A and B are shown apart, each in its own frame.
Chain A
Amino acid sequence: MEVIVFLVPLALLLGLFGLLGFLWSLKNGQYDDLDGAAWRAISDDDGTPARPVELRSESRP
């Protein structure tokens, strides 16, 4: 049963990563627009164009 001496801290460490991930996503503004995120997921294109320069040609369909 000595294995729990490092299994428990390991489990906690994993949990801590989860928490840090959550705090990062919060700080990153990922909860600011929940309605929009729902729609972006199903939209055809790749969401926000990363580099506007490339899109200049396709901006007018």
Chain B
Amino acid sequence: MQATRDFSHYVKHLGSGLAHIDLAVEGVSCAGCISKIERGLSAIPDVTLARVNLTDRRVALEWKEGALDPARFIDRLAELGYKAYPFEAVTAEAVEAENSRFLLRCLGVAAFATMNVMMLSIPVWSGNVSDMLPEQRDFFHWISALIALPAAAYAGQPFFRSAFNALRTGNVNMDVPISIGVILALATSIVETIGHAEHAYFDAPIMLLTFLLVGRYLDQNMRRRTRAVAGNLAALKAETATKFVGPDEISVVPAAAVMAGDIVLLRPGERSAIDGIVIEGRSEIDQSLITGETLHASVEPGSEVYAGSLNVSGSLRIRVSAASEGTLLAEIQRLLDHAVQVRSRYVQLADRASRLYAPVVHATAFLTMTGWLIAGASFHDSIITAITVLIITCPCALGLAIPTVQTVASGAMFRAGVLLNSGDAIERVVAVDRIIFDKTGTLTLPEFDVVNSAAVPADVVELAGRLALASHHPVAAALARAAGAKSPLPGITEQPGQGVRGILKGEEVRLGSPTFCKADGLANEILSRDPEASVVAFARGEKRYVFAVCQSMRPDARAVIAALQKRGVAVEIISGDREPAVRAAAEMLQIPEWRAGVTPADKIARIEELKRQGFKVMMVGDGLNDAPSLAAAHVSMSPISAAHLSQATADLVFLGNRLAPVIASLDHSRKALHLMRQNLYLALGYNFLAVPIAILGFVTPPIAAAAMSGSSILVMLNALRGRHVPQETL
């Protein structure tokens, strides 16, 4: 049965006879790649658009509807040396992108208005000390109003909306004092202009909005970028399923296009992308991504298979079931929902600051007004002074203090291999004093690896690797990878469940189970030393070799654990795997605390117990069984190879084979929080200086403008220091 590839699920029909597809492409990094890909794809007849987006590592393609099969683009890119996968933007990413554009539009409007109002304000300021006519001043003020009012109404939307939503639910956030300050300043300015006054504050609120929008845009852009990378990685995992479209006809379709009730084929070596029930075939499956258990489970018709299971030996036909039917998944989902609710009670640093800030500012303004009234000033002058207090304290620098640091820190963490899923993760990582690691796939590598290749002659390893290419068995695949084998041997036949064999230069070669290769003695010797390993035997003529294959530790696991312990962070292992396997890992990594055979509910119970003892727990895990505990922990982290649900739940996702990003996230977060605090103090310090001047009534519009931009630039420059965090080499 030859499968056809069906990508029609990803194709968008634009109307006017054009079709569109987005591809995520691996390895695009420079100008050369851009022109190579664009020229290579444009050369295909009927392609009307081929455009590379280097920021998101994607290619957008348009062609005449019906003229081409999308699979051809993927083949063409493969010829050019790039691995490409069809890409479907998730709704969350589209929303982020739209928000990002809206904020940029607001920023453009606000910046335009600031520049033009300043162009009018500076003549007024200098005219006030020289010889400007009152009519000219009024003219300038009215034009300023004409620009500032519509611009503030448009560019202030993000703040007004968020303030309104907060007030409606009885909360106060940073946007409440911002909105009140902006509206009051503009209203006063209009009243003053009508009264032919010397000062009007049209420039201050619009400049405030510009600076704050810079902070908002940076924050939004950071999140958009993270989503794009995460989306690409999901696409590059190429979640496809082999679906039966007729009794004997199969087609490879994206997992998203498989419906409940469809029947799919799961061949040996493939990872299931769907949940379902086996209707035909027998096999062993590796469920380590779901339960953490490394021992293979046998399945037969009637058994349930979950997405993420790796099929080891025989072909299976599976009827797809809806995701939530499985008892295990339903249980995990229930625990997860509960844990997520609990966590949302965390209050971000910025919100905590604004809860203190808003009442203090508004009380100060009110006291200023009553103070001046008691001192005998006119009602008009008292109100104006109170409003200048509000303008000068408007949290311009406060609004920038945290997003600028977050943006810089997330960029630095990205370079260290850590993606931020949630913006406030940085704050939460800092408090961590205990890290719980899952074992399978987190401390160990997700893939199998040959551990004794040094004990076998190099030419044998190479030959065995080439032979292994003929088999789909995961252990054989590990051997092929370890040997770097590229060209399969000709004339190899597979004996299902046993191994592969063929003839090479008149000698029989075999690769497979020890019994199949008559190498039981050697295999038992290896298994007695390392009971956790899987073995694969190789026979050539009379010679016998046995390879031990297991999930080895991440290369720097030992060093990272030691570095964490040195930083005063306690480490423990909680795994769903069997006791001997967990014990061996704990001993090797010198982790005194470990638990084996733990269910998802017990994992949460352990985290709750630690929470009650006052620990701030970070959970690092990849399995589906870890998802609820990832949500329950104070902060959580997943490797990029993790199950979908876990990755979506985790606050941070790390890339690559090394565990070092865990340390990097800790160090970068510590530095970032330090800078955030420093920025808040800088902003507060500025208020301490400026507020008395405002209360005394000495703040004129030029002073307000200078103070606002000065403090904002100071805070931004300070945030840039978060780019460099000394990293120890592990």
Contacts and interface: CB of A to CB of B under 8 A. Distances in A.
Interface of A: 1, 4-5, 8-9, 11-12, 15-16, 18-19, 22-23, 26, 31-36, 39-40, 42-45, 47-49, 52, 55-56, 58-60
A19 B108 contact: yes
Contacts of B51: 48
A12 B689 CA distance: 35
A30 B50 CA distance: 16
A12 B42 CA distance: 44
Given A4-B136, A8-B120, A12-B147, A33 B42 contact: no
Contacts of B109: 19
A32 B53 CA distance: 8
Nearest to A16: B112
B116 A12 contact: yes
A32 B51 CA distance: 12
Contacts, number: 86
B724 interface: no
Given A23-B105, A23-B108, A31-B104, A49 B55 contact: no
Nearest to A49: B42
A15 B112 contact: yes
Contacts of B133: 1
Given A15-B112, A19-B112, A36-B52, A43 B35 contact: yes
Interface string B1-42: 000000000000000000000000000001110110011101
Contact of A26 (B56, B101, B136): B101
A60 to B, nearest CB: 8
Interface of B: 30-32, 34-35, 38-40, 42-45, 47-48, 50-56, 101, 104-105, 108-109, 112, 115-116, 119-120, 133, 136, 139-140, 143, 147
Contacts of B104: 26, 31
Contacts of A11: 116, 119
17 contacts: A8-B143, A12-B147, A18-B112, A22-B108, A23-B105, A23-B108, A35-B55, A36-B53, A39-B30, A39-B34, A40-B34, A49-B38, A49-B39, A49-B42, A52-B43, A59-B42, A59-B43
A59 B39 contact: yes
Contacts of A33: 52-56
A26 to B, nearest CB: 6
Contact of B54 (A22, A35, A60): A35
A34 B56 CA distance: 10
A22 B44 CA distance: 35
B116 A39 contact: no
B232 to A, nearest CB: 14
A42 B31 contact: yes
A47 B35 CA distance: 7
Contacts of B136: 1, 4
Contacts of A52: 42-45, 47-48, 50
A16 B51 CA distance: 31
A48 B104 CA distance: 26
The 3 A-B residue pairs with the shortest CB-CB distance, nearest first, are A36-B54, A59-B43, A39-B31
Nearest to B116: A15
Contacts of A39: 30-31, 34, 54
A23 B104 CA distance: 9
Given A36-B55, A39-B31, A40-B34, A56 B43 contact: yes
A16 B147 CA distance: 10
A11 to B, nearest CB: 6
A1 B44 CA distance: 65
A49 B37 CA distance: 11
A17 to B, nearest CB: 10
